[in-house]
């Protein structure tokens, strides 16, 4: 996101905008570490076991996010929107995995929610596009384009936020939280000893 000067009717008024695609930050792809195994195929050490356990936990957390991504709506079997909803859910499942790979291996709840919104907008865009072809009504076509534009903006915002979160995670992981806490305690203790001495 960036602060930009308004243009057109909002000329001169600052606005918060999602960056255009050509100004987005580069992805932070992380190659997963290969597990260390013994000759018989079992896990060789505790570090590998921890890493594999973390991967499993991350996969479970991502699956939970995916299930919550498009809300809890139940679409009736006879509803014309149902196939679009299920297709958007499949799109969301795949897209969250792709974005997580581009964003340092994990995707936070904010970007995941934005992708959930994008999936809903995609479903409505496709539904209204088909409806516009069936009814020949311009209104449906215009609505479909609005939803498509919304989907595009949600995707850009999710990517930008995901990259920003990945950079913050990388900075935080350089020193563990416990190390930072202990260092802060040492500094506070040193400064209180200097004041009393």
- pLDDT at position 124: 94
Whether residue 22 lies inside any domain: the answer is no
Whether residue 66 lies inside any domain: the answer is yes
CA distance 138 to 104: 42
- pLDDT at position 152: 93
Query: In the block, which residue shows the tokens 């200097």?
Result: 194
Domain that holds residue 99: 42-196
- pLDDT at position 63: 55
- pLDDT at position 17: 72
Whether residue 28 lies inside any domain: the answer is no
- pLDDT at position 189: 76
Whether residue 49 lies inside any domain: the answer is yes
Positions of the chain with pLDDT lower than 50, given as ranges: 67
The DSSP line for 66-119 is HHHHT-S----TT-TTHHHHHHHHHHHHHHHHHHHHHBTT---HHHHHHHHHHH
Give the length of the chain.
Answer: 197
Whether residue 11 lies inside any domain: the answer is no
- pLDDT at position 159: 92
CA distance 66 to 89: 8
- pLDDT at position 191: 72
Q: Is the dihedral of CA 74, 130, 126, 144 positive or negative?
A: negative
- pLDDT at position 170: 78
Within 10 angstroms of residue 161's Cβ, the number of other Cβ atoms is: 21
- pLDDT at position 105: 85
Q: What is the pLDDT of residues 179-191, one digit of tens each?
A: 666 777 777 777 7
Per the structure block, which two tokens stand in for 92? 């969301």
- pLDDT at position 156: 92
Per the structure block, which two tokens stand in for 102? 């581009």
Cα dihedral: 158, 161, 101, 97 (round 10): -30
- pLDDT at position 125: 95
- pLDDT at position 96: 92
Whether residue 117 lies inside any domain: the answer is yes
- pLDDT at position 139: 93
Burial 136-158 (b: 16+ CB within 10 A, else e): eeeebbebbeebbebbbbbbbbb
Whether residue 164 lies inside any domain: the answer is yes
At residue 31, the 3 state secondary structure works out as coil
Number of domains the chain is built from: 1
- pLDDT at position 182: 72
Whether residue 141 lies inside any domain: the answer is yes
Phi, psi of 32 (to 5 degrees): -65, 140
């Amino acid at each position: 996101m960036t602060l930009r000067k308004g243009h057109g009717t909002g000329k001169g008024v600052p606005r918060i905008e999602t960056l255009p695609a050509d100004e987005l930050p580069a992805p932070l792809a992380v190659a997963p570490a290969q597990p260390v195994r013994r000759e018989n195929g079992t896990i060789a050490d505790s570090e590998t076991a921890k890493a594999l356990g973390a991967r499993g936990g991350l996969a479970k957390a991502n699956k939970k996010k995916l299930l919550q991504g498009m809300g809890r709506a139940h679409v009736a079997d006879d509803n014309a929107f149902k196939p679009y909803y299920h297709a958007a859910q499949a799109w969301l499942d795949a897209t969250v995995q792709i974005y997580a790979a581009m964003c340092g291996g994990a995707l936070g709840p904010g970007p995941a929610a934005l992708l959930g919104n994008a999936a809903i907008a995609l479903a409505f865009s496709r539904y209204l596009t088909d409806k516009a072809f069936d009814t020949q009504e311009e209104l449906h076509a215009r609505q479909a384009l609005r939803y498509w534009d919304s989907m595009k903006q949600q995707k850009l915002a999710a990517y930008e936020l995901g990259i920003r979160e990945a950079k913050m995670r990388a900075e935080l992981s350089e020193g563990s939280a416990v190390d930072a806490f202990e260092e802060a305690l040492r500094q506070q203790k040193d400064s209180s000893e200097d004041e009393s001495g």
